[in-house]
Structure 1
Amino acid sequence: MTIAEGASSSGTAPANPEHGGRFELDALVVGGGFSGCYMLHKLRDELNLNAKLFEAGTALGGTWHRNRYPGARVDVAVPGYEYSMEQIWNDWKWTEKYPGQAELEAYFNHVDKTLSLSKDCYFNTEVCDARFDTESATWTISTKDGKCARAKYLIVAVGFAAKQHVPDWKGLDTFAGDIYYSANWPTEHVDVRGKRVAVIGTGSTGIQIIQEWAKDAAETTVFQRTPNTALPMCQSVLPPGVQEDRASRLQIFEDNKMTNTGLEISPIPQNTMDVSPEERLATYERLYGGGGLWFWNINYQDLLVDPVANREAYDFWAKKTRARINDPRARDLLAPLEPLHPWGVKRPSLEQNYYELFNKPNVRLVSTRESPIVEIRPNGIVTEGGQLYEVDMIAVATGFDTVTGGIKDVGIKDKYGFDVADQWNKQGVRTHLGMMVGGCPNLFMPYSAQSPSVFTNGPTSIEFQVRWIADVIQKMRELGVRAVDVSKESEQAWKKEVTEIANMTLLPKAKSWYMGANVPGKPVEPLFYLGGMLLYRERCLETSRGELDGLVKM
């Protein structure tokens, strides 16, 4: 077996010789994606703190650096999916409505150059332990390559997709061909011409790989557990001049702050069945034809709440999708007449020609719901019942240990010495506002569990959270407060609010990564705050009002 991995590079220079790999800091940021880059900028350039950033990868970009697999691209349109800082967007021009991985990585290079971030970043630096010392009110952070840092403030900005989940298939290490993991794809081009390839998983990553590999492979076998309720991307090239209007760009970013989604769009303020069938159909056609996630995030307001409304949307989607698939069996597997779960409670992926691929004679679909994978052999994949699918190459696109996986890997120990990961494994996630953990003073986690994160436009949500964290730190300095913590009562109240809002929706009715149900043994619970950005903003400001009245000052 050959496991193809991403290339390693030195990244930024290692720690300066004068401190021998030891750092005395005001603040340390862990993770170099959207959250980490903006956090470093705020701490260093606006609060004038001695701040550094540790990144496990070889460059900035977070998920857009790690996920280099073919076809990788964002599902949120630009402008919108970008920082609102004018010094960054003023001389940056996107080429596509939904940028691909290469363009997003180039964007982060532009961000780096504009803000001069890399001089304070250390790459190939994976944090494995973080402990708080009550006496000194500092964190001691250790890395796998031997670096050690002490910092008053620790910001864990690892995002929601930092750790890939790979099932423990029997014989995985016996495969004689090449295995590619979506979150650790090699930098060099993977040539599938003349090859028999398999893609395991049909989430957004799987769909994107399938669309690319099926163009050239001799044979493509797709292993699907649950059908993806994917929507047409309707990709387009952005013509010259479309991003030149400064006033319009500024207005977009201001409008994004005033909605629950973090985008200048909101659901239709009507219930599905309150309009006539003719009006409803016309609305569905408009949203579906508009492309992107419109049919999901600006549909009628009861889409994810009312089962009748939800089924109406599913039936429309299924009719549209089934019409694109010729083979009856593939049609029933990809877009069944009876839904396996409510529509939209698993994030719909965006596709460009996904369903038409199954009309090709050299693309076959295997249902692992009917026949689970039981073994990997040197020459292929075996499903229950003994069917062997002979392949030369395998792409593993089986999702992530969402939000909590990456945080657990940091090895956070609270002020009592307890491992946060162990506590979360036993009791489920415990946070306040999705940004702080009881017993972990001065620890902040933007874009993490129990925050709006993936149910909003990432950059909009991140910018608010980072500003809030920076404001809390600045208030601490003004008040002479050494450390702030959150009470267990605050954690319990926040978990109650997160859970109650989720239970008002249809989301708990599906085994999804939104609920942590995609990883065996992981507590099944709502991992995200579904109250929207406006209410979330209120809750955050309630906590930081006055003299940080909602926090425990130490």
Structure 2
Amino acid sequence: MCEGQPKREPERVDAVVVGAGLNGIYQLYSLVERGLSVRTFEAGEGVGGVWYWNRYPGARCDSHFPFYQYWFSQALWDEADWKERFPGQADIEAYLNRVCDKFDLKRHITFGALVTEARFDEETGRWLVTTDRGDRVSAQFLVLSTGGLSVAAKPPFEGAERFKGLSCHTSRWPREGVDMKGKRVGVVGTAATGIQVIQTIAPEVERLVVFQRTPNYAISMRNDRIGPDDLAQMRAAYPELLAGVRQSEGGFVYGGPPPPNFADLTPAERTAHLERIWAEGNLRLWGGSFADAGDNPEASEFVSDFVRGKIREKVKDPAVAEKLIPRDHAFASRRVPLENGYFEAFNRDNVELVDLREDPIVSIDETGVNTASGRHHDLDVIVYATGFEAGVGAIRRIDIRGRGGVSLREQWDKAVTTTVGMQVHGFPNLFMTMAPFAPASALCNIPVCSDQQVQWITDTIAFVRDQGLRSIEPKAETEAAWMAHHQEVSEPTLIGRNRQSWYRLPTGNRELIAYLGGLNQYRATCEGYRASGYAGFALT
């Protein structure tokens, strides 16, 4: 653009959706189905969100078949062709592309465009959205489907930029892949992602050094192949499962009786009960061990000790096993990964565990990693499996200005607040999915929580349009009431008592981003807003 030339008039649409991951795709579909004109901006060059960016070795979901797929269409279930009980990254990315192609959604998506700014114009009641490549779009509604785990948390190791080998974060893995056969590899981080990488590459690298800060409990995954009979049963069960997940606490239907109370079983019965759940090879043990495991310290310790015993069975060297066993938190008090050979990897001669609590990393140089003990680990590749700026990272990267030019970033620097994790007081017609203080923030099977959040957002937008209104936002007292309820039901829980989990924001008051009142209570609250004609919301 020549200097002094006036800016182009922005494109006008009814709604802008930011992000074309699992949530963003469904949000786009839902709004287009309601007859809205929609423009979606996606930073990547393809759809998939977390499944586009996270293509590291061993990447797969930990929601078991058939629960990790969209729930809004029986036709999608009839066409689904899953191959594994826990689908891998490539299969999920391919599935999301098929969904977009089936409903012709890609024509609404601008790829390779990072939204940098969104400003609400109080005179027009519209958002002006700007991208890093110069796109300018005016929309009545703005939906941030930017994902809760999309901005990488990179550790501030001195000298990291000097490393001459290959270094990459798991969330920005090269599309062409990385050949690590015969290489000396260091992996920093042993949470869910690190576990998947480590167990996958251990057999093929020359040497693997695992830098562990916090040991994690993990459940052995049973990843069966899915055949034609499984798919037929899945399709036939769709109506029943749909009703079941919408009444569930975490987006799964496990079947069988509810968990027993700890005191109702003898010690031998408790162990047998846990063994049966363990054999399922899914996440049922996380929330389905004992009905009172979250409130009863004796029950919690019993489950924790049971899983510690499983780790000891897998690791031959008792000293290494003890380093891999968590001592500072209880089982289920933070994210519980699934594993498929992770602990056994430490039985290999080419794998070394470095306990960073005993020997922390002090710097990285041209050839590897230096630790406090004076050791230097020569490496060809460094893999950072160090997690994300959970819940708020992607939203905070956008300069969002609401009524009166108030900055959401600056407001959240003081205190992060939302109303049911989907709107914020002072920011009319701004909606979010997977934002803090909703089940979708951390503790729900995402396709199920996505289904609920997208439907609520779409219904709310339809209400504003049908009523001839210009905007909707929660009143201050509505937001305060939700935050008080969130604190009341979430903080006293087992997860709430763990102050070191990524379920808490990293700065400020370290609010617990995960809503722990259950999906049923959350749905009831959202439905109550809608059924009341959005009492407690400012409608203009």
| Pair in the same fold by TM > 0.5 | yes
Aligned residue among 252, 261, 266 for 1:263: 252
| Cα drift, residue 21 of structure 1 | 9.0
Q: What are the Cα deviations for residues 343-376 of structure 1, in whole angstroms up to 9, with x where unaligned?
A: 1111111110011110111100001112221100
1:33 aligns with 2:21: yes
Selected match of 2:272 from 282, 300, 305: 282
One-letter amino acid of the structure 2 residue matched with residue 392 of structure 1: D
Aligned to 1:10: none
CA distance in 2, matches of 1:189, 1:182: 11
Task: State the match for 2:384 in structure 1.
Answer: 396
For 1:511-535, what per-residue CA distance to the aligned partner results, in whole angstroms no more than 9, with x for missing partners?
011112xx4x454111011111110
Please name the residue that 1:549 is paired with: 535
- Indicate conservation of the 8 Å contact 1:375/1:382, yes or no: yes
Tell me which residue corresponds to 2:313: 323
**Aligned partner letter, 2:383:** A
Q: TM-score, normalised by structure 2?
A: 0.95
Aligned pairs for 1:103-114 within 5 A: 103-114=91-102
CA distance in 1 between partners of 2:58 and 2:151 (Å): 20
Q: What one-letter code is carried by the residue in structure 2 that aligns with 1:191?
A: D
1:162 corresponding residue in structure 2:
150
Aligned to 1:298: 288
Task: Compute the displacement of 1:173 (Å).
Answer: 0.6
The 5 A counterparts of 1:350-429 are 350-427=338-415, 429=416
The alignment yields a C-alpha RMSD, in angstroms, of 1.5
3-state DSSP class of the match of 1:541? helix
Mapped to 2, the partners of 1:424 and 1:282 lie a distance apart of: 47
User: Hey, what does 1:15 align to over in structure 2?
Assistant: none
Partner in structure 1 of residue 136 of structure 2 = 148
Deviation at 1:269, TM superposition (A): 4.3
The one-letter amino acid of 1:197's match is: V
Moved more, 33-42 or 296-305: 296-305
Q: Specify the alignment match of 2:39 in structure 1.
A: 52
Shift of 1:550: 2.9
> 1:27 offset after TM fit, Å?
0.3
Q: Is the 8 A contact 2:153 2:387 kept in 1?
A: yes
- Describe how 1:118-157 pairs up with structure 2 within 5 A: 118-157=106-145
> Residue type matched to 2:247 in 1?
M
Aligned residue number for residue 242 of structure 1: 230
Question: Is residue 191 of structure 1 aligned with residue 179 of structure 2?
Answer: yes
Deviations, residues 102-121 of structure 1 (Å, cap 9, x unaligned): 00011011111111110100
Q: CA deviation at 1:264?
A: 1.1
Paired with 1:263 and 1:294, the residues of 2 have a C-alpha distance of 9
Q: 2:3: which partner in 1? A: none
Helix, strand or coil: the match of 1:273? helix
CA distance in 1 between counterparts of 2:180 and 2:461 reads: 51
Q: Which residue number in structure 1 is paired with residue 481 of structure 2?
A: 493
Confirm or deny: 8 A CA contact 1:514 1:526 kept in the other structure: yes
The answer to whether structure 1 residue 539 and structure 2 residue 525 are counterparts is yes
Residue 446 of structure 2 corresponds to 458
In structure 2, distance between residues paired with 1:503 and 1:116: 43
Q: Distance in 1 between matches of 2:77 and 2:111?
A: 25
Q: 1:89 aligns to what? A: 77
Percent identity, please: 36
1:201-212 paired onto structure 2 within 5 Å: 201-212=189-200
CA contact (8 A) 1:73 1:101 kept: yes
Provide closer, same or farther for how the CA distance between residues 275 and 426 of structure 1 changes in structure 2, counting only shifts above 3 A.
Answer: same
Alignment partners' CA distance in 2, 1:259 and 1:477: 32
Matched with 1:5 is none
Shift of 1:20: 6.9
Q: Say if 2:419 and 2:474, in contact at 8 Å, map to a contact too.
A: yes
Q: AA paired with 1:89? A: W
1:251 to 240, 252, 264: 240
CA contact (8 A) 1:203 1:349 kept: yes
Q: Which runs of 5+ in 2 are unaligned?
A: 1-6
Query: Residues of 1 paired with 2:130 and 2:64: CA distance?
Result: 38
Q: Following the alignment from structure 1 to structure 2, what is the Cα–Cα distance between the partners of residues 207 and 79?
A: 23
Distance 1:479 1:513 in 2: 41
Contact 1:21-1:146 within 8 A present in 2 as well? no
Q: 2:304 aligns with which of 314, 330, 333?
A: 314
> 2:4: which partner in 1?
none
Deviation for aligned residue 1:296:
0.7
The yes-or-no answer on 1:515 pairing with 2:504 is yes
Query: Which ranges of structure 1 fall in alignment gaps of 5 or more residues?
Result: 1-18
Q: How does 1:463-478 map to 2 (within 5 A)?
A: 463-478=451-466
Distance verdict in 2 for CA 1:88–1:21, change over 3 Å: farther
Distance 1:104 1:476, change over 3 A: same
Shift in Å, 1:268 = 3.3
Cα separation, 2, equivalents of 1:20 and 1:418: 26
Q: Deviations over 1:443-482 (max 9, x none)?
A: 1112221100131211111111111111111111221111
1:527 maps to what in 2? 513
Secondary structure of the structure 1 residue equivalent to 2:388: coil
In the TM superposition, what whole-angstrom CA distance separates every residue of 1:150-177 from its partner, at most 9, and x where no partner exists?
1000000111101010111100111011
Which whole-Å deviations, capped at 9, do the CAs of 1:470-496 have from their partners, x for residues lacking one?
111111122111100111211211111
In 1, Cα distance between equivalents of 2:270 and 2:258? 11
Amino acid at match of 1:73: R
